[in-house]
Chains A and B, each alone.
Chain A
């Protein structure tokens, strides 16, 4: 591609802004400064009065719905095109394997789907639909060889994707050992299922049932639980799709308590609210269906953008996953069947600007941080992405804070008939977008090449996240109390009782080996065999050891004072 010189723009990084020219060649930023010596034939773009920001990173998209069933209305090509049109030059798409199928196979499928289609760089994050021990090796392979460093677990979608707390703990421990990021879809699937049942019984079948069955406290509860589990496992946690006040507040509090946790509000939760679920127009109402749902509380976008500005939430995604009205209509008689997902990939940057920068909640540097830099740091592609610096990828956006644009389905670059931000006026739009050193958007014209997007492998142990985790790991060691052996009397447990339920406490629980061997995989048991002591190793020993009056008298460690 031709070398490009961007002249006269104000460079905005997450830490500072300054005026400089930028010289781009071979897809990289080669020089920055004033009065750059550039070779002939260099194309010059005048950026006076505009901001030069690092291209946006959309940390959450689902452009390829599962192979079976309904595929998303916007494929990878259409989706990445829309991304570029909105100033996003990299996406992290989610691989969603069929439950029980191989993660690696699904990964390969996504790669092959994206490689020929994507017109911007992309990374992949892999969802873990159902946990079993053998996935451990797959995770390791994905992390070591495939450039994936983030995995998502579901706390919702009961009986389909949902993980139990034990599984989450095991997954988190594995992820921590691998140096990856644990992402979580946080909603309490058990409660949702019961609520769905109840609402359908009440005869509520429209899209409003979706939000009624997934109230925000159910989201907050799951966020709280995920944080608790992550703390126990000392694993960094990334909560995708923060949709409600409650959930965001829980995150903010946890952060205050020192948990390594990141929250990702999405375009939809920042830009609109859930009152539309009650729209008389079924198609419109259905277009908003996503999970967790957009909060019906109209003050939510404001609250989330405040937390985003204050640093309590760090990253913005879009969770872009669109379905046409006809596809949504699969659930016209039952809201639980409506395919879930909203648009947002194209609108993300503009919405964040409009909701956060225009009202003065954040400055342009913060804007860069939440739309690009933080994501690059967390997902370990910094400073290659997320920064305007010499040596970084030439993914640049010329942002015009004075231009305005009205979002509408008529003008968006998507296939869906309905845009959930319809009619929103945004101040601040990308005028020129440069991806891999090529101008892809100029004067409102998109000029993309199908398949030009590269897969960006991401390394493990991102410093931004893991420095703290490593330090805590070292500190977290616990030690027992060195005591003499207890040699006092021991109550003799009648042998017969052993077979009966053990009694009061989780006595038998820890000894995995002792439960009746389950022919199916028991999700509640880990496959760890306990080396060393088992919970009832002692039962045999104990009877032998029973010393009511030890020969040397009772030692004083057992004496009661």
Chain B
């Protein structure tokens, strides 16, 4: 994009001040002309949108820029408390990139002022609209929180606030599919709650999050869901949806899941293969859970790590006297992640259900997903900001607080080539979605585990940095184009979680969650300026190209020029329907073609061996010693046994029958179906 722009800059022989794109600040209208012709502006005010004439929004805007912005300052300051008269002008005028400017209607529209300057009606002019499939230049008219019109020469009502995008990219707001803004741990919650977290999200260009409801094991999913729902409703500043984590598989959970799917707008559930004796489910339980969730049409999320082995490794590493955060990475080597991913995919492909791997953190796990996709199972992988942007070498930092800040599960891979590899897979479509896994704990909270790495609360930041990191690592390096960027940060997530095309696309009728993106803006990530409440940012010091200039959520400008305009609780809960077509179309067809059929044979009527009566439980095969029923029932919950009673056939239903059937020499002689040869 940057290149292309540069090209047209040259071609169109733009003024000097456009000759140096790629510099930080949004721009400036300046002495030598400023950016907006005041008469134009006034025209706008008087509603004269159509005049841009033939194509070339940029030439239009260039034209617009031709005069001083003083009018604007007045206007703006009239209406709102937005700092700076023009959003796009952070002061200095030396940078010569065309910025984005927001123009407010004059005088009579001041009624909008009480809305903090955020009009319900908004026109974005001269932007390049990027969807996941293609991009084009068009104006965008937003009203009532929806995208109402796309095109040129739009007819819009008067008094519309206008944003001059000046050829900048206009992309669908990001969707962060993995956040834990209210994750409980030992009675405390992460420092970023729904308010703090969604503020950070918006500041980073993410206009919707899907948060995880994490019920305490044993507590009801519904109750927990309501708890999260309430907390988010009162605090969230951007739209949100909720995943529900299944932390234990108990009696009655099926009914609750059904209610959640049918009535509560939840269509995704996460199961855990790690956290032994806490959340972990056995393969049998996973099979049952997958089967049931598939019948509900839900998306199955899996936290994939082998919990059994982790528990063993933790024990071993603590015994060796390693108690620092490096123990976290050592006890969760990437093989264990890859193994669990492989297993989850195997189970899912048996059931023919889609499976979505959250937090793909390592090369080997990502490779397993990529391989599996080539074989056909419906697998989706979600790398997170942390795994795309940094690596796990920091676990060995001498600074305990810094090392602890990176603790998350699965851990960041200590292999420094991991981010590059994951970005490549993301670019080629082997991984599809990006999340953040945002769940930051303060250093004091992390310090609960200062003498034992297993006690360190897990979670890293990333909600704010996600879009920028993906841009910097994947687009700015030429791995993916902007359309793919939109796909992995927003569209794919919307499709998988059945929000599409309401979210994840710039189209008439979609929600007005729009981001104006500046590919050239360079921003250094630091804890000093981030919106999260934590003291340490795991991306500290990272210089990123690409950042949002303006973020519009529900049709309102919520972020411009580094300033947030948000209200607690303005985010809506977005219910999601089951059976997302993106996943289930194929599943349904596979269901149809995958039917199993037995072989129709005559009855076997040859001799049947008589099993000696005494060892009743010695079963036929050399391998089967005792019948399942004979195991001592463990008084503690055995995670490897389901508590479902089996309706239908049981393996040893036939035991009593068998002795009765014994026909050693049937009266009519042996029929030929048993003859050999």
The chain A residues found within 8 Å of chain B, CB to CB, are: 62, 65-66, 68-70, 72, 96, 98-100, 129, 154, 156-161, 164-166, 169-170, 185, 188, 190-191, 193-197, 199-206, 208-209, 212, 215, 217-218, 220-221, 224-225, 228-229, 231-232, 278-285, 291, 321, 323-327, 329-334, 336-341, 409, 417-418, 422, 478-481, 483-486, 488-491, 493-494, 496-498, 500-510, 512, 515-516, 518-520, 522-524, 526, 528, 530-533, 535-538, 541-542, 557-561
Contacts and interface: CB of A to CB of B under 8 A. Distances in A.
B322 interface: yes
A166 B399 CA distance: 33
Contacts of B619: 69, 160, 337
B621 interface: yes
Contacts of A531: 319
B623 A329 contact: no
Nearest to B456: A505
B599 A526 contact: no
B54 interface: no
B654 A535 contact: no
Interface stretch (B98-106, B180-188, B469-477): B180-188
A341 B631 CA distance: 25
A538 B318 contact: no
A225 B350 contact: no
A496 B187 contact: yes
B276 A506 contact: yes
Contacts, number: 404
A510 B307 CA distance: 11
B150 interface: no
If over half of B's interface residues share one DSSP class (helix, strand or loop), that class is named, otherwise mixed; here it is: loop
Given A337-B620, A491-B444, A188 B346 contact: yes
Contacts of B442: 491
B336, B343, B634 interface centre (most CB from chain A within 10 Å): B343
Contact of B454 (A166, A337, A507): A507
Contact of B311 (A100, A129, A506): A506
Interface string B212-239: 0010111000000000000000000000
B598 A204 contact: yes
A476 B35 CA distance: 64
A493 B674 CA distance: 71
A248 B673 CA distance: 35
Interface of B: 183-188, 214, 216-218, 274-278, 282-284, 286-288, 291, 306-315, 317-324, 326-327, 330, 333, 335-336, 338-339, 342-343, 346-347, 349-350, 396-403, 409, 442-445, 447-448, 450-452, 454-455, 457-458, 527, 535-536, 540, 596-599, 601-604, 606-609, 611-612, 614-615, 618-626, 628, 631-636, 638-641, 646, 648-649, 651, 653-654, 657-658, 661, 664, 673-677
B598 A203 contact: yes
Given A66-B625, A280-B599, A488-B443, A560 B402 contact: yes
A108 to B, nearest CB: 18
Given A422-B677, A520-B635, A157 B399 contact: no
A489 B276 contact: no
A206 B599 contact: yes
Contacts of B622: 62, 65-66, 72, 96, 321, 339-341
Given A159-B631, A493-B187, A196 B651 contact: yes
Given A154-B623, A329-B607, A501-B278, A409 B677 contact: yes
Contacts of A491: 188, 442, 444-445, 447-448
B350 A195 contact: yes
A329 B633 CA distance: 32
Contacts of A334: 649, 651, 653-654
A253 to B, nearest CB: 10
Given A330-B611, A520-B634, A217 B349 contact: yes
Given A165-B308, A340-B623, A479-B322, A204 B597 contact: yes
A493 B186 CA distance: 6
B284 A194 contact: yes
A522 B186 CA distance: 25
Contacts of B664: 326
Contacts of B216: 500-501, 503
A428 B96 CA distance: 84
Contacts of A498: 186
Given A98-B626, A510-B314, 9 more contacts: A188-B343, A203-B598, A281-B676, A480-B327, A497-B187, A500-B187, A506-B311, A520-B634, A559-B401
A160 B624 contact: yes
Contacts of B675: 281, 283
B399 A510 contact: no
Contact of B186 (A283, A327, A507, A559): A507
Given A159-B628, A228-B339, A194 B287 contact: yes
A112 B661 CA distance: 35
Contact of A325 (B335, B607, B641): B607
B323 A480 contact: yes
A509 B188 contact: no
B621 A340 contact: yes
Contacts of A98: 618, 625-626
B65 to A, nearest CB: 41
A486 B448 CA distance: 11
Contacts of A519: 635
B447 A332 contact: no
Nearest to B315: A510
A202 B612 CA distance: 31
Contacts of A341: 621-622
Contacts of A159: 628, 631, 641
Contacts of A515: 277, 636
20 contacts: A160-B625, A194-B291, A204-B596, A218-B350, A221-B342, A228-B339, A291-B621, A326-B606, A329-B604, A329-B606, A339-B621, A493-B448, A496-B187, A509-B275, A510-B311, A523-B638, A526-B312, A535-B318, A541-B451, A557-B400
A408 B162 CA distance: 88
Nearest to B276: A509
A280 to B, nearest CB: 5
A150 B107 CA distance: 89
Given A69-B615, A217-B349, A340-B623, A560 B443 contact: yes
Nearest to A335: B598
A530 B320 CA distance: 11
Contacts of B314: 506, 509-510
Contact of A506 (B324, B346, B454, B674): B454
A142 B614 CA distance: 30
Contacts of B217: 501
B380 to A, nearest CB: 18
A518 B635 contact: yes
Given A66-B622, A215-B350, A217-B350, A530 B398 contact: no
Given A165-B306, A228-B306, A535-B455, A478 B330 contact: yes
Nearest to A538: B451
Contacts of A323: 609
List of 4 A-B pairs having minimum Cβ-Cβ separation, nearest first: A190-B283, A497-B187, A68-B615, A68-B618
Contact of B399 (A337, A520, A557): A557
Nearest to A528: B315
A560 B527 contact: yes
A161 B625 contact: yes
A160 B274 CA distance: 24
Nearest to B401: A558
B318 A560 contact: no
* Max chain B C-beta neighbours (<10 A), residue from A209, A491, A508: A491
Contacts of A208: 598-599
B170 to A, nearest CB: 37
Given A96-B623, A161-B623, A478 B649 contact: no
B606 A283 contact: yes
A478 B321 CA distance: 10
A12 to B, nearest CB: 35
Given A232-B309, A232-B336, A483-B398, A503 B185 contact: yes
